[in-house]
Amino acid sequence: MIFKKYLNKKFYLNLSVILFIFFLDRITKEIVINIDKENFSQQIFLSKYLDIALIWNRGVAFGIFSFDENYTYNILTTLIVLVVFIIFYMILKNDGLKRFSLLLIMGGALGNLYDRIFFSAVPDFIDFHIGNFHWFIFNVADIFITVGVIFMILIEFIDNNRNKINEKN
């Protein structure tokens, strides 16, 4: 088996991180969906800076590229599946903080991919705002994806600076 060398303690730890993120995302989405049904699609929670209100996102991150056409939606979903496979490959090839960042991205990506496949949309519900300025509405999976991407960017900056310092010496 080609993946046999990867089935070790580290693999199961990595899988645990991904599954924790996936199930945390699923649980929060199910809670919000059920409360939304009970409240007849009214806003669930309102405060000065945070609202919890369910919206169904057919686009990519934060509702960007939302489409009503099934053909375009299916192409977008297929591209996301390909990206998930690429991230999986990258997880196998990296270590340390870079691998952890990819695990965060993978857990969130699988949570949102699940929704795209089974609901044809991703439930978003966290709405931060200051006055009338609202940030994009997002979910728990989006938080992990964003944190993972931020870590990846920081790692690249640190590695680039380290390489420049080493080149000068």
- pTM, two decimals, is 0.85
Cα distances from 43 to residues 25, 38, 121, 140, in angstroms, run 20, 11, 19, 18
CA nearest neighbour of 84 among 65, 111, 66: 111
Q: Write the CB contacts of 127 (distance below 8 Å, at least 6 apart in sequence).
A: 50, 51, 52, 53, 134, 135, 137
Q: Check pLDDT > 70 for residue 1.
A: no
Q: Is 39 domain-assigned?
A: yes
Is the residue at 55 inside a domain? yes
- 62 lies in a domain? yes
Confidence band (pLDDT; 50, 70, 90) for 90? very high
pLDDT in tens, 108-139: 999 999 999 999 999 999 999 998 888 889 99
Structure tokens at 18: 């991904």
Residue 169 lies in a domain: no
The answer to whether residue 85 sits within a structural domain is yes
Token pair in block for residue 162: 């380290």
Q: List residues with catalytic annotation.
A: 124, 142
Asked if residue 4 is part of any domain, the answer here is: no
Within a domain: residue 149?
yes
pLDDT for residue 4 is more than 60: yes
Q: Considering its fold, how many domains does the chain have in total?
A: 1
What is the residue range of 119's domain? 9-164
Confidence (pLDDT) at 70: 77
Q: Rounded distance, CA 155 to CA 17, Å? A: 20
pLDDT top residue among 130 and 44: 130
Does residue 98 belong to any structural domain of this protein?
A: yes
